[in-house]
Structure 1
Amino acid sequence: MQARATVYIVDDDDSVRRALSRLLMAHGYPVTTFDSAQAFLDEADFEAGPACVILDLLMPAMDGLALQHGLPRRMPVIFLSGHGDVARVVQAMQAGAIEFLEKPVSDTQLLAAVEKGCACAAEHFALERELQTLRQKLQRLTPREREVLTWVVTGIRNKQVASELGTVEKTIKVHRAHVMQKLEVDSLPALVRIADRMGLCVSRRDDDARQRAG
């Protein structure tokens, strides 16, 4: 079973940090607290695992909105503040906050927001890990193999790829086999999914292929 996402609490009020920590830890959430935005940026390990953050809006030196802009987009942000005017709420939500709660907040509201934030955090973290793994696999390819990959995933035949690259079909088959081995897949649809996930430029070539076929 995957561990729960960590909840970071950033608030300059010690009593708020203690109260939130007790509530969340009582419901099984790992919690780490910080008394300032700068302490959070200096000490938190954003790569350690999935995490969401509860931010106070008004804090000395760096406020919650400024801190929000310095965080990875994949980290869900929940604002908890006693100073939530409409303009600030809109600004926070436009920047990607998932909730803006006003103090005092009910346990039910807070826990619902944290559950939502942690679920988003786990999803984003898993996606980033998957993309990182795919990037590492793509780095195994030689420049020629990567070029063959971008042509193969258009669906055109090996013979046509060979013609485009100025070589013979047998060579393309060898490159294609190496590509599939290095990317650890066993079918063309799997190659297409990887190319799509990594944003490889295949759409234009696919259009070209259809034009040639027509």
Structure 2
Amino acid sequence: MSIEAIVFDLDGVIIDTEEVWEQVRRAYVAEHGREFLPDSQDRMMGMSTGEWSAHLADEVGVPRTAPEVAADVLGRMAERYREALPLIPGSVETVRALGARYRLALASSSARILIDQVLETAGLTGAFEVTLSTEEVPRGKPAPDVYLEAVGKLGLTPGVCAAVEDSSNGLRSAAAAGLTVIAVPHGVYPPAADALAGATLVVNAITDVTPEVVLNLHR
């Protein structure tokens, strides 16, 4: 079955922000006299805003409500993005090249305010027919909700869509939704082996995801 649309993740695929997220959230937690749990970083990669803010408030113990934690951290992230947007080399060109041949959507765990800011700064606001935040669906990644919603908004079925993902939860989400999964593993935060096993194709860099590569994907 040939691919008709490609659904991109944002963090770790188009922008290299996992380290920024970790720095901002660790500093925020430390300011409140707390520290990450051993698995906090891995668990929060792919979580929706409501989910990671609840984790920091309820499990890590930051003495703020989850909505307050979300507002605090998102404000700091937006400020970092205004200072410098850490685009992954070649990501914008890759999106544009794929968009010339395929329909595109974006399915991100970032908040809507951050998605819109990134796309505007990167000059990609019009590149995607559909952009979704996991804030806008019932469950964040690794649940399939955001991918199923994106595919539905395109008017397609998962079987004719590919996903480009980097993190364990993102890969699991796309695979659970039934998309053909292209993995671009993050060098600093590599995905778990079981999550990577769900990918049809594993590439070294986003620039390896060319229209020709997608054309030759087999389910």
TM-score (norm 2): 0.38
The structure that is helix-richer by fraction is 1
- RCO greater where, 1 or 2, for CA within 8 Å and sep 6 or more? 2
TM-score (norm 1): 0.39
Larger C-alpha radius of gyration, 1 or 2?
1
